[in-house]
Structure formats: structure tokens, C-alpha cells
Amino acid sequence: MSAAPDHTPTFAKHSITDRIGQAAPYLLVPVLILAGFIAIGAPTSWLTLTVSGLAMGMMIFIMASGLTLVFGLMDIINFGHGAFISLGAFVGVSVLFGLGGWTDAASLPLNIAAILLAILAAMLLTGALAWAFERVIVRPVYGSHLKQILITVGALIVIEEAIHVIWGGEETFLNRPNALRGAVTFAGAALEKYRILAVVVGLAIFFGLRLVLQRTKIGLIVRAGVENPDMVEALGYRLRLVFVGVFIAGSALAGLGGVMWALYEQVITAGMGENMMVLIFIVVIIGGLGSVEGAFVGALLVGLLQNYVAFLEPKLALVSNIGLMTVILLWRPQGMMTVAKGS
Amino acid sequence: MVRFLLSGDAPRSRILAVLLALVLVGLAFAPFIFPGVRALHTAATICIFILLVASYDLLLGYTGIVSFAHTMFFGLGAYGVALASVHMGRGWDALAVGTLAGALAATVLAWLIGLFSLRVRAIFFAMITLAVASAVAVLVSQLYQLTGGEDGLTYQIPRELTPAFRFGELFGVRLNGRLLNYYLVFFTCLALFLLLLRIVNSPFGRVLQAIRENDFRAEAIGYRVVVYRTAATCMSAAIAALAGSLYAIWLRYVGPDTTLSFEIMIDVLLMVVIGGMGTMYGAVIGATIFVLAQNYLQNLMGLAAEATAGLPLIPDLVDPNRWLMWLGVLFVLSVYFFPTGIVGRLRAGR
Amino acid sequence: MSEPILSLEAVETDIAQYHILKGVSLSVPRGQVTMLLGRNGVGKTTTMRTIMGLLRNKAGQIRFDGAEISGELASSRCRAGIGFVPEDMGIFSALTVEENMILAAVSGAPDRARLDWLFTVFPPLKTFWKAPAGTLSGGQKQMLSIARAMIEDRKLYLIDEPTKGLAPAIVSTMVGALRELKRQGASILMVEQNFAVARALGDHCVVMDDGRATWSGAMADLATDHALQERLMGLSMEAG
């Protein structure tokens, strides 16, 4: 028998550099904001861009969080995730149109109530569709990434086209509810009210998700399942049911993101979710597949960079995110925060 | 002789052999069997898509990795020819330089993407190619001074390849540069298709298939999976670029919609899956059926939409603009019930 | 003698295209420790995973506590009373020791008294209670893995190589803990390469070769019969 010299706890060996290594991804956000400040020069423009970058990042995070968890938990890659974004946007916007009296009233509570109802409807419908989607589309192709990609792409097209058939038209324009139009001025910079709301909602979702993942038994099961699904089963939990729940919740979040994105862009198309998938994939890859924290940091980086670059050199905005992805993959080939598989 | 040309990879099904022979004869004599500008255009499109789909099959069917950047490589070849023709002026040298530059650019880009994504997980590849391809598409439409943006570029090709160049008549068909152009497309596609067939039946191709079946085991036996996958990606990209160059020479026009769009990517995916992944001959069958359907079935849908104009919902569903929806449905169903495609079925049912 | 807690009858299991178990029949008596022995690659771990339900047997019966469980999910088998310590320990390294234990207590919050008992058996667990399990040493991870299986009373414990790669001092801690478990009347099926450990703990033993159980009997018989060891396992385990 070989003697393993490992009785001394390795816990004490955690050095300063290890800790900085773990915190480094979070530090990238302030570093990027600072770099933006230096590159842009004008403080007011910089503040406006930073807020809109954060707002955009938060919305991308909301859409990306479900995708990364679904992958981490069941090794399922869903290219059809964008369909839930589009569907959420169309359902939410239809509700907002229906509640036109509330959204046009100069009353913040009525406006917020209309948005909440729109979000509720969008999340319920996308969640319901996700339940069917998981059963019909995803379940038969467990274990084969190739088939998952093919079949979810097919489903994405069908759902997008179905949106065309149901709602018709190419582009639908909308106005934000009355109280959320316009901007507030802070330190000389114009900050759009809606973007501030988006940041608040995004933060709430992030901390809510973290709370669930860190403090509840479901959260423990999800985190453990990302690492070692078999062992979670062997400890007596039906991971399948948890997974279906995560899939539905993640898709409902995509629907929520869709509503928020619709109010941000003030125009919706059936293909909007598909277009968002490009940024979402970049976020999920640089964050590390399966990591919610990674997706959060990645989304903020992408949102900020996109806004700074669009100001400095508009044509390079999307390319800059490819550059960001390249740099991060050079630094950490698995993404910023990886989830250990097996032990 | 035939066996040598096919690299020993016989059709292995009598029906398939007959179908392939029909396609070959039909394309080889297209100008004489199917007269008319539109028919010839359809035939050339079929040739080019057979090559494009076959090069994609090298990746998807034989190597087992999904790429969404294949139309990007296709577009690189096409824009190579277009840009060279615009800047160097009409001439054979412009075609040669553009084609080579496009193929080279595609190879280098494929190598870079492979370097970043295949090293980690094959699944990264699908996502990264999607991101890169859409960034390139956006870039092409934004750099309009160079690329013509959404309008694309039109340019002149050597006179010998245009309808203006006439040199007689055969079997009642006027012989002109357009005919020469068609045969340039046809023979180049045929040669490159046979080359692809050779690649997948070589020892290299066998290793690719071993990796597709079980990459851990292939690595354990001593094959460097990343190297093989990257090499396959580069080859596939280079051939896609060559197909793009041919398309640019044939059309005398390039634009995002004809070469770069995500819709063409979906078309290519569908052609591979319907024809049969990992068979090469599937590309021939898939592309032929698909291009024919696209050119002639959409008209039929238009007629159906008109005929049902009074009914609820149905005219919306059969509207030619909803073509993509039915493709999507077909796609999902074929991945479920028909994963080996037409060629797989024919071979199994032999 | 009462019915065995677990019995396998001609169980066959495939992993991908490989036929690993070719008809395993064995039984595990109640309240005793049964050792599963054999060379590497004969199917011991596959047998354990098949019993737990992480692999499906394509033929044969698995009877646990009087019921056929071949069709049950791993999670149901756990809730029916099987505790599992896998060969790779199956630690959730991103979770703390505490969270690992909370997760293991499937029927509710961990029982305080039982936890205190586990702390006396495995003191490091208390020391590193709030630490991420990934930062533990190999021996401590093994302790956590066993403690996780023991946090609630199970009718049967499946323990796959608990002493693999551990220093001798920890091996004796482990043997002490398992002996304690045995003293409380637990039924255990255990894979063990270290013959000294196997002999110290085992009441019965089953020897496997090439996907089948080729011998079973009292541990004492095997321990004293070197010729039998030689024949069954191809080498004498006495030196181990």
C-alpha cells in the first residue's frame, strides 16, 4: 500500500495569491470601469455610459443565468434559449398594450403595476412553454451535444416563426410607461430612469439567485448537482425533477429579460432572442459554463465594454466583445470561474 | 476506375447509386437537358451547395463538431473574389488572387477559432463560431465603404465567362461564356467533392471518426484530438471558401444575404441532416433536394396561400415567408426520427 | 438464519458497449460485514454502482430488504435505506463540510446527537466544519464521505475502497470508525484491496473474477488458506 503524505490539512496552505486569483474576476469590473474613465476622458459621458453599460449587463445576466445553470446541472446546451426571450418580450408587450391606460397615466404605481403584470404574464407563459420544451425537445436528446444543438436550433426557428404567425409584422414599436420616460441628472450626467431601474432589478435577481443557491436545500442540491450529479442521486434526491424546475425557472428568467430588453430597446422582433444569444454565449463562455457568479461578472464586462467601445469607435462594439472573449480565454481557457466536475 | 475516384467508398445501395448517377448526369449535361437561364442557375447553385454541404459534413458528420461559422468561411471566399475583382479590375488574375486569399483567410481564421475553442471543450466551438460569425456579419455590413454593406458588391469577371462571349451552337443550345462558367463551377465542385471523399476515407478520416465516436479513447490510444479536430476545421473552412469563390464567380455579385446570413447556415444544416450526416453522399442528395424545393416549392406555397386566402390562419401558415418554419419543423422531426438521413436509410434498407 | 438484507441473482451490467458484469450472484447477510474482493478490473465497483442504481442492470435481480429494486432510481434506493460511499468519494468540493452533511441528511436536518457521535469518530470534520470540502486532504475527504453515508441510519452501507491511497495512521482511524459502525449492528458491503483491513473487519467475503462472483464464504476460511487466496485472486494478499 502506498502511503499518501496528505494528512496535514491543506486548508492552511491557501495563499494570498490563491485568494487574489479567486477574486480576480470580480476585480475586472472596477478595472474596466476605471479604464473606461481614462479612455473616455469626459466624466459626464463616462457616467452615462457606465450606467447604461451596467443596465445592459444586468439584463444580459438575467437572460444568461438560466442557460448557464441548465448546462452546469445536466450538461444540456440549449440553443433555443433565445426563443424564450422573444416570446417573453411579445407576451409582455401585448400585456403592456392591453394596459395602455395604466402605462400612459402619469402615476408611478400604476406604471409599475403594469410592468409587473407584463412580467408575470411573460414569465408564466415562457415557464409553461419551457415545461413542454423540456419534455418534447430536450429530454429525448440527453447525452448527445450534437443532437441537442441541432434540435434546439430547429425549435428556435419554429418558435420564432410561430411568433411571426401569431403577432404578425416585422417590428413592433412601444413606449416606456410614462414615469419611466426621460432621464434624471446626476453630477451633470443624464441617466435614463429606465436604466437605473434595470440595474436595480438585475441586482435584485442576482442576489436573490445567490441567496437561493447558498441558503436553501434546493440551492445546495443544484450546486452539488453541477459538480457530481450521480452522487446527488445516490444521496436520495431526484435530480431530474430539480433540473426540470431549474429549466423552467431559467426560461422564465429569459422571458423576464425579454420584457426588460423590450422596454430598453423600445422595439421588438421575433429574432431578438436569437440576436441576444450571441452576447449571451459570450457571457456564458467567459464566465465559465455552469457558474452563475461568472455569468454575472461576464455580463457586466460585456455590457460595459459594449457601451464604452460604441462611444469611442461605434463599428467595433460587437468585435470588442469577441476580443474580450479571446483575452479571457487566453487567461483562463475554461472561463473565469469554473465549476469542478467530479472531485 | 470509378472505385478509385470514389476512394473505395461505394454508395452501398442500389437506389442510392441510381440517384447519385441521376444527379451526376443531370448536372453534367444540365445546359443541354434543362435549357433556360433559371434552370442553369439552379444547377450551378446545386453544384456549389453540394460542395459547401459536403465540406460541412466533414466537420459535423465525420468529426462530430457543430460549427455556425461555415457560411462565414463561404462568405470569405466570395468576398475575396469580389474585392479582388473590384480592386484589381476584371481579369483571371483577380479571380485567382481573390480565391487564394479567401481560402487562406478562412484557413487562418478556422485555425484561430479552433485554437481557442477546441482546446477546452468541443461544445465551446458551437458557441464561439456563432459569436464570431455574427460579429463578422455585422462588421461586413458596417464597413460599407469596403464591402458595400447590405447592398453588397457587383463586379466584372473575365469576358470568357459571361454570356457576351459566344462561340457557336450545339444540339440547339447556344454556346457562350455562361456555359463555360457553368462547367468551371461543375468540374471544380466535382473535383473538390472527390477530394473530400478521399480525405474522409483516408487514415486521417478514420481517426476523425474514431474521435467522433469516443474522444477520450482516441486520446488514450495516442491521437492528439485537438490537432485532428483543428485540422478538419481548417480543411472544411478552406473548401467552404473555395465554394464561396465559385459562387461569387457564378453570380458576379456578393452580398450578406447570399453568402453570410444565418439563414444559409440553417439551410446547410438542414441539407446535411436530411441527406445523412457522415456519408458525403448525403450532401449530394440533401443539397439537390433542398435547392430544388427552395426554387420550386416556395412558388407552390404562394399559390396555396392565395387559394386559401379566405380561411383563418392557414394562409399565414402556408405563406412563402413561413418557409423557414416548415424547414424548422422538418429539421426537428428529421433529427428525431431520421437521424441517419436519406442515405443512412437507403443503406440500411438495402 | 434470517433473509439476507441484499441479494443479487445473475446480475448483468453493460457500460456503453462493454459487457462488464456477466452474471453476479451474491448475498449480504444482515448485521454483518461482507467484503467484496478481487483484482482490479473484475467488476467490483461496477457491482457497487449497479446495486446503488447509478448503473442499470440489463438482466438479473437485485433484492434489497425483501423487495426487487432493479427498476428503482438511485434516489429511491437511498431513501429505501442504502448508504453509499463511492470509490472517488463523491465529495462536493464547492460546498462546505457542513453543506455536504446537510445534503446527506435526506429526511430533514441532521440529527444533533448523531452528528456529535460522528465528530468523535472523525474529529477533523468538526475542525473544518465551515471549510469548503475541496480544501480537505484526501484522508479527510474520505472521512467526510463515510460520515455522509452514516449521518442517517441506513439498513445497508455500500463502501467502495475506503482506505485507498491513505496513510497508515488514517487507515487505522477508518478501521476504527467502521468497526464502531459494525458494532452498532450495521450491514455493510465493502470493496477493499487492503487485505489486512479486509480481514480485520470482514465476517464474510465474496471474491469476483471477470464479471462474476467466483467464491463466497467465511472471511476466516479465506484468511487462513493461502492456497485459496492464490487460486482466487492470483496472488497472496497476506503481505498487504
Reported confidence tier of residue B238, pLDDT bands at 50, 70, 90 = very high
Q: What separation, in Å, do the N-terminal and C-terminal C-alpha atoms of chain B show?
A: 24
Instruction: Specify whether the CB–CB gap between B53 and B286 falls below 8 A.
Output: yes
The percentage of residues in chain B with a pLDDT greater than 70, rounded to a whole number, is: 99
Residues 180 through 239 of chain C touching chain A, CB cutoff 8 Å: 194
Number of residues assigned to chain B: 350
Domain C6-233: give its CATH superfamily.
Answer: P-loop containing nucleotide triphosphate hydrolases (3.40.50.300)
Task: Using a CB–CB cutoff of 8 Å, tell me whether B313 touches chain A.
Answer: yes
Task: Using a CB–CB cutoff of 8 Å, tell me whether A315 touches chain B.
Answer: yes
Q: Which of B129, B130, B153 is nearest to B141 (CA)?
A: B153
Answering whether pTM is above 0.90, one says no
Reported confidence tier of residue A4, pLDDT bands at 50, 70, 90 = very low
Task: Using a CB–CB cutoff of 8 Å, tell me whether A5 touches chain C.
Answer: yes
Task: Using a CB–CB cutoff of 8 Å, tell me whether A200 touches chain B.
Answer: no
Judging contacts by C-beta atoms under 8 Å, the chain A residues touching residue B335 are 141, 147, 150-151, 154
Query: Alpha-carbon Rg of chain C, whole angstroms?
Result: 17
Q: Where do runs of H (alpha helix) occur along A235-315?
A: 239-265, 272-287, 292-312
Instruction: Specify whether the CB–CB gap between A285 and A325 falls below 8 A.
Output: yes
Distance of alpha carbon A257 from alpha carbon A65, whole angstroms: 10
Judging contacts by C-beta atoms under 8 Å, the chain C residues touching residue A3 are 167-168
Q: Spell out the SS3 assignment of A291-302.
A: CHHHHHHHHHHH
Reported confidence tier of residue B101, pLDDT bands at 50, 70, 90 = very high
- A35, A266, B195, C97, C134 from A16: Cα distances, Å: 25, 47, 56, 22, 17
Instruction: Determine how β-strand B153-154 pairs with β-strand B253-254.
Output: antiparallel
Q: What is the pLDDT of residue A9?
A: 42
Residue ranges covered by each domain of chain C: 6-233
ipTM for this model: 0.91
Q: What is the pLDDT of residue B46?
A: 95
**Exposure string (b/e) for A289-323, b if CB count within 10 Å is 16 or more?**
bbbbbbbbbbbbbbbbbbbbbbbeeeebbbbbbbe
Distance of alpha carbon A214 from alpha carbon A220, whole angstroms: 7
Q: What mean pLDDT is predicted for residues C78-99?
A: 93
Three-class SS state of C26: strand
Yes or no, beta carbons of A157 and B327 under 8 Å apart: yes
Whether the pLDDT of residue C102 is over 50: the answer is yes
- A232, B79, B183, B263, C160 from B253: Cα distances, Å: 58, 9, 19, 18, 67
Q: What is the pLDDT of residue A218?
A: 92
Three-class SS state of A192: strand
Instruction: Specify whether the CB–CB gap between A258 and A273 falls below 8 A.
Output: yes
Give the residue carrying C-alpha cell 487564394: B100
Reported confidence tier of residue B53, pLDDT bands at 50, 70, 90 = very high
Whether the pLDDT of residue A6 is over 80: the answer is no
Reported confidence tier of residue A261, pLDDT bands at 50, 70, 90 = very high
Give B177-183 contacts, CB < 8 A, sequence gap 24+.
B178/B40, B179/B31, B181/B44, B181/B157, B181/B249, B181/B250, B182/B30, B182/B31, B182/B40, B182/B43, B182/B44, B182/B250
Whether the pLDDT of residue C234 is over 70: the answer is no
Yes or no, beta carbons of B335 and A277 under 8 Å apart: no
Q: What is the pLDDT of residue B298?
A: 74
Judging contacts by C-beta atoms under 8 Å, the chain A residues touching residue C139 are 4, 6-7
Round the average pLDDT of chain A to a whole number and report it: 88
pLDDT digits (tens, 9 = 90+) for B112-137: 998 888 877 778 888 899 989 988 98
Distance of alpha carbon C140 from alpha carbon C146, whole angstroms: 10
Whether the pLDDT of residue B187 is over 50: the answer is yes
Instruction: Specify whether the CB–CB gap between A126 and A251 falls below 8 A.
Output: yes
Query: Which range is most confident: A66-75, A187-196, B57-66, B101-110?
Result: B101-110
pLDDT digits (tens, 9 = 90+) for A275-296: 999 999 999 999 998 889 999 9
Q: Which of A161, A196, A197, A206 is nearest to A68 (CA)?
A: A206
Residue B137 φ then ψ, to 5°: -60, -40
Judging contacts by C-beta atoms under 8 Å, the chain B residues touching residue A319 are 135, 138-139
Q: What is the pLDDT of residue C238?
A: 45
Distance of alpha carbon A332 from alpha carbon A14, whole angstroms: 20
Judging contacts by C-beta atoms under 8 Å, the chain A residues touching residue B329 are 154, 158
Residue B141: Cβ-neighbour burial (10 angstroms; 0-12, 13-18, 19+): middle
Q: Which residues pair with A41 in a beta bridge?
A: none
Q: In sequence order, which residues have a C-beta less than 8 Å from that of residue C104 and are 6 or more positions away?
A: A235, C110, C147, C148, C149, C151, C152
Reported confidence tier of residue C105, pLDDT bands at 50, 70, 90 = very high
Q: What mean pLDDT is predicted for residues B35-49?
A: 91
Q: What is the pLDDT of residue A18?
A: 67
Distance of alpha carbon B98 from alpha carbon B346, whole angstroms: 40
Q: In sequence order, which residues have a C-beta less than 8 Å from that of residue B161 and are 6 or more positions away?
A: B177, B178, B180, B181, B184, B249
Q: In sequence order, which residues have a C-beta less than 8 Å from that of residue A138 and are 6 or more positions away?
A: A76, A78, A148, A152, A247
Query: Hey, which chains touch C, using 3+ CB pairs under 8 Å?
Result: A
Of C53, C128, C167, the CB nearest to A4: C167
- Which three cell numbers, joined as nine digits, stand for A160? 420564432
**Exposure string (b/e) for B7-42, b if CB count within 10 Å is 16 or more?**
beeebebeebeebbeebeeebeebbeeeeeeeebeb
Q: What mean pLDDT is predicted for residues B145-158?
A: 86
**Residue B54 is part of a domain; what is its CATH number?**
1.10.3470
Instruction: Give the Cβ contact number of residue C116 at 10 Å.
Output: 11
C-alpha torsion sign, points A159, A165, A171, A172? negative
Q: Which of A28, A25, A85, A50 is nearest to A310 (CA)?
A: A50
Q: What is the pLDDT of residue C75?
A: 94
Whether the pLDDT of residue A7 is over 50: the answer is no
Q: Which of C94, C20, C117 is nearest to A340 (CA)?
A: C94
Distance of alpha carbon B328 from alpha carbon A116, whole angstroms: 33
Instruction: Classify B66 in phi/psi space as left (phi over 0), alpha (psi -120 to 50) or beta.
Output: beta
Q: What mean pLDDT is predicted for residues A28-40?
A: 92
Higher pLDDT, C2 or B108: B108
Distance of alpha carbon B319 from alpha carbon B308, whole angstroms: 10
Higher pLDDT, B315 or B166: B166
Whether the pLDDT of residue A20 is over 80: the answer is no
Distance of alpha carbon B47 from alpha carbon B27, whole angstroms: 8
Distance of alpha carbon A239 from alpha carbon C78, whole angstroms: 13
Q: What is the pLDDT of residue B322?
A: 77
Higher pLDDT, B319 or A158: A158
Query: Which range is most confident: A190-199, A250-259, C204-213?
Result: A250-259
- Which three cell numbers, joined as nine digits, stand for A335? 472561463
Whether the pLDDT of residue C100 is over 70: the answer is yes
- A188, A306, A309, A313 from A40: Cα distances, Å: 16, 13, 10, 11
Q: What is the pLDDT of residue B184?
A: 95
Round the average pLDDT of chain B to a whole number and report it: 88
Distance of alpha carbon A197 from alpha carbon A192, whole angstroms: 9
Yes or no, beta carbons of A233 and C137 under 8 Å apart: no
Q: What is the pLDDT of residue C230?
A: 78
Q: What mean pLDDT is predicted for residues A93-103?
A: 91
Task: Using a CB–CB cutoff of 8 Å, tell me whether B116 touches chain A.
Answer: yes
Round the average pLDDT of chain C to a whole number and report it: 89
Three-class SS state of C24: strand
Q: What separation, in Å, do the N-terminal and C-terminal C-alpha atoms of chain A show?
A: 22
Instruction: Specify whether the CB–CB gap between B242 and B76 falls below 8 A.
Output: no
Of A146, A284, A333, the CB nearest to B120: A333
Amino acid identity of B210?
A
- Which three cell numbers, joined as nine digits, stand for A278? 450571441
Give the residue carrying C-alpha cell 426537428: B332
**Exposure string (b/e) for B159-176, b if CB count within 10 Å is 16 or more?**
eebbeebeeeeeeeeeeb
Distance of alpha carbon A163 from alpha carbon A91, whole angstroms: 10
Reported confidence tier of residue A310, pLDDT bands at 50, 70, 90 = very high
Q: What is the pLDDT of residue A340?
A: 55
**Host H or E run for residue C62:** strand C57-64
Higher pLDDT, C72 or C2: C72
Whether the pLDDT of residue B78 is over 70: the answer is yes
- B106, B131, B133 from A275: Cα distances, Å: 24, 10, 12
Number of domains in chain B: 1
Distance of alpha carbon B208 from alpha carbon B216, whole angstroms: 13
Q: What is the pLDDT of residue B246?
A: 96
Task: Using a CB–CB cutoff of 8 Å, tell me whether A14 touches chain C.
Answer: yes
Whether the pLDDT of residue A97 is over 90: the answer is yes
Yes or no, beta carbons of A319 and B332 under 8 Å apart: no
Whether the pLDDT of residue B153 is over 50: the answer is yes
Q: What is the pLDDT of residue A12?
A: 44
Task: Using a CB–CB cutoff of 8 Å, tell me whether C15 touches chain A.
Answer: no
Yes or no, beta carbons of A6 and C90 under 8 Å apart: no
Judging contacts by C-beta atoms under 8 Å, the chain A residues touching residue B143 are 315
pLDDT digits (tens, 9 = 90+) for C47-88: 999 999 999 999 999 999 999 999 899 999 999 999 999 999
Whether the pLDDT of residue C239 is over 50: the answer is no
Residues 33 through 92 of chain A touching chain C, CB cutoff 8 Å: none
Instruction: Classify B141 in phi/psi space as left (phi over 0), alpha (psi -120 to 50) or beta.
Output: alpha
CB pairs under 8 A between A and B: 106
Distance of alpha carbon A325 from alpha carbon A138, whole angstroms: 28
Q: What is the pLDDT of residue B296?
A: 79
